[in-house]
């Protein structure tokens, strides 16, 4: 308590020893950190309370979903010479994205769409791909 009385009078600060000044500095630091943590805990609590009041959590019901075989009517790809391999790759990609077996996916039609990408964008893609390898 003697240290707190010394801190209240600025003229007495010059008469304090180095040990007293270090102790006072640590006390100020500890008090400041304590106040900061308490303020953050109060803010956190207020946010939790407001979230519970404002956001109503819907009850999650268990839903049974039956999957039917997916049919893909058209797929956009670039043209290659070997269509059988292309169809196999496209079917595998679609099955992977649908998280199903390739036996449940039927690719009926593959339609080529013209590339309308500007030349600079195509060149940029090629440069990025070549930089990876």
pLDDT digits (tens, 9 = 90+) for 64-104: 555 565 555 555 555 545 677 878 888 888 888 888 888 88
Q: Which two tokens stand for residue 119?
A: 């030349």
Closest of 69, 126, 119, 114 to residue 95, by C-alpha:
69
Sorted by sequence, the CB contacts under 8 Å of residue 95 that are 6+ apart come out as 101, 102, 104, 105
Contact at 8 Å (CB) between 75 and 39?
no
β partners of residue 110: 75
Secondary structure class of 35 (helix, strand, coil):
helix
Q: Given this model, what pLDDT does residue 30 score?
A: 95
Closest of 73, 107, 104, 78 to residue 90, by C-alpha:
107
Helix count and strand count (H, E) for the chain: 4, 4
Q: Given this model, what pLDDT does residue 114 score?
A: 83
Q: Given this model, what pLDDT does residue 29 score?
A: 95
pTM of the model: 0.37
């Amino acid at each position: 308590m003697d240290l707190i009385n010394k801190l209240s009078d600025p003229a007495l600060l010059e008469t304090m020893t180095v040990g007293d000044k270090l102790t006072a500095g640590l006390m100020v630091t500890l008090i400041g950190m304590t106040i900061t943590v308490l303020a953050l805990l109060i803010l956190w609590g207020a946010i939790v309370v407001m979230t519970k009041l404002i956001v109503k959590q819907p009850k999650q019901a268990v839903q049974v979903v039956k999957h039917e075989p997916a049919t893909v009517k058209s797929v956009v790809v670039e043209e290659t010479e070997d269509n059988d391999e292309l169809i196999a790759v496209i079917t595998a990609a679609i099955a992977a994205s649908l998280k199903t077996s390739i036996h449940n996916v039927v690719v009926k039609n593959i339609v080529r769409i013209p590339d309308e990408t500007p030349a600079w964008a195509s060149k940029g893609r090629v440069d990025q791909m070549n930089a990876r390898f």
